[in-house]
Amino acid sequence: MNRSYQKCRELFLNSSSKLPLTIQRSSYELPYSDPSGKPVSTDFIKIYKNSPPKKWLLLTSGVHGLELFFGSAVQSHLLQGISDEKYILPTDVGIIMAHALNPWGSAWLRRVNINNVDLGRNFISNFPEILEKYKTDPRHIEAQKIYRDIDEIINPQSFPLLGAADLLRIGYYFWKYGKSKFNFAMLSGQRFKQRGAQFAGKSMDLEHRSFKAEIDKLLPKDSELVYHIDLHTGLGEKGKETFVVADEESNKAAIEIFGKKRVSFNTILGGEVDGALISGLKLAQKTEAKWLALTFEIGTTPIYKSYLAVRNEAIWHNQQLWIEDFSRKEIQGINTDYYLSHRTKKEILENFCPSSKEWQDSALSVGLSGVSTIIKYLASYR
Ligand SMILES: [Zn+2]
């Protein structure tokens, strides 16, 4: 599994070179650079057999920057598998892949984008309305009060000196508020804390606006069924899949395909999530199609470990590279090797794309099997 944005991109683009299919490629460059100064982009490929089909698989990767490495591997291997006829693309099903939805985050080994925004919470067309809800709903008002109380332990300004004392403090607040209130506070508070480890943004960010415009062009208006799979890592049992769905229709379909055990209903961190890509895109899309969607997660490490890794990396980033002027094309005067080789970068990488061959092989095979199962479901759908 490649753990570098440029290598992933290269493999993805090469994997489609020998496909015996109708292929349409497109991409857009974002006004940001990777650590070597090269531009970063999101790449699309649209494939089908003869005439444009009415049923589509939409496969997206890298909304959370460094979760790209798993998603990209699944996309590239699927393309290679179709080339080698290991996987058969049914005549009445097409595939649209979007590679690296947050390429800056992938290139700089961050989960968030250049604006420190968690794009997994940011696909919202009616932002003012949603923010109003967070300001007026009593549950959210309470959650934000809790967030202010726990702020210094979830978003510390510097590295805690004593690891054990730090863990004890987190444990204390967890006990004080209980798991569901603690988690809900993190979900609600991230709407307003711009330097927070999981800031959700103030409006829909450039990555999502560009992605949405491209999907509107690529997806035929007369599509009848779209199945959107958004590939992620970090949630669930190590090396196993968990499906997170956001609506009843998708829930029903996922249970029919995979069984109840591994499907969870829009309950990341114990509360409903606003702005997840799967639900945001479904609401905003312009076809007449029946639209099913799921977030496909592969487990890596226990959730508290990946949470700490995100937090520690955020401390490091904020100390080294906090960017006040996000419109700058390049980040100047920074020793990128020093920035990228820090222990927090290794830690976050290990928590979202473990280096062990066993995990990588298992994740890839589970990912490919899940995606090909959905292709079969699309083929059988009447
Ligand atoms: Zn993710």
Three-class DSSP labels, 176-220: HHCHHHHHHHHHHHCCCCCCCCCCCCCCCCHHHHHHHHHHHHHCC
Q: What is the pLDDT of residue 266?
A: 63
Separation of CA 137 and ligand 1 centre (Å): 27
Sheet containing 263-265: give its strands across. 22-33, 39-48, 93-99, 55-61, 225-238, 290-299, 241-245, 263-265
Q: What is the pLDDT of residue 95?
A: 98
Q: Write the pLDDT tens digit of every residue in 8-28.
A: 999 999 998 888 899 999 999
Q: Is the pLDDT of residue 161 over 80?
A: no
Q: Which residue has the higher pLDDT, 368 or 183?
A: 368
Q: Is the pLDDT of residue 251 over 60?
A: yes
Domain boundaries, the chain: 5-122+206-303+353-380, 134-203
Model confidence at 271, in pLDDT bands (50, 70, 90)? very low
Q: Is the pLDDT of residue 261 over 80?
A: no
The arithmetic mean of pLDDT across residues 155-175, rounded, is 85
Separation of CA 63 and ligand 1 centre (Å): 7
Separation of CA 78 and ligand 1 centre (Å): 20
Q: Write the pLDDT tens digit of every residue in 73-121.
A: 999 999 999 999 999 999 999 999 999 999 999 999 999 999 999 999 9
Q: Is the pLDDT of residue 158 over 90?
A: no
Separation of CA 2 and ligand 1 centre (Å): 17
| 334/346 Cα distance (integer angstroms) | 19
Q: What is the pLDDT of residue 260?
A: 77
- Residues measured by CB to lie within 5 Å of ligand 1, the ion: 64, 67, 232
Separation of CA 234 and ligand 1 centre (Å): 7
Q: How far is CA 210 from CA 51, 221, 320, in A?
A: 27, 18, 29
Separation of CA 364 and ligand 1 centre (Å): 16
Separation of CA 232 and ligand 1 centre (Å): 4
Q: What is the pLDDT of residue 247?
A: 87
Secondary structure (3-state) at 81: helix
Residues 6+ apart with CB under 8 A from 303: 234, 235
Separation of CA 242 and ligand 1 centre (Å): 12
Q: Which residue has the higher pLDDT, 330 or 190?
A: 190
The yes/no answer on whether domain 5-122+206-303+353-380 falls in CATH 3.40.630.10 is yes
Q: What is the pLDDT of residue 208?
A: 97
Q: Is the pLDDT of residue 286 over 80?
A: yes
Separation of CA 235 and ligand 1 centre (Å): 8
| 272/53 Cα distance (integer angstroms) | 34
Separation of CA 91 and ligand 1 centre (Å): 32
Query: SS3 breakdown of the chain: % helix, strand, coil, rounded to 5?
Result: 50, 20, 35
Q: What is the pLDDT of residue 58?
A: 98
Question: Whole-number mean pLDDT of the chain?
Answer: 91
Separation of CA 267 and ligand 1 centre (Å): 14
Separation of CA 163 and ligand 1 centre (Å): 26
Model confidence at 301, in pLDDT bands (50, 70, 90)? very high
Separation of CA 41 and ligand 1 centre (Å): 19
Separation of CA 112 and ligand 1 centre (Å): 10
Pick from 297, 231, 232, 292: nearest CA to 263: 297
Separation of CA 27 and ligand 1 centre (Å): 22
Strand partners, 27: 43
Q: Is the pLDDT of residue 324 over 70?
A: no
Q: Is the pLDDT of residue 267 over 60?
A: no
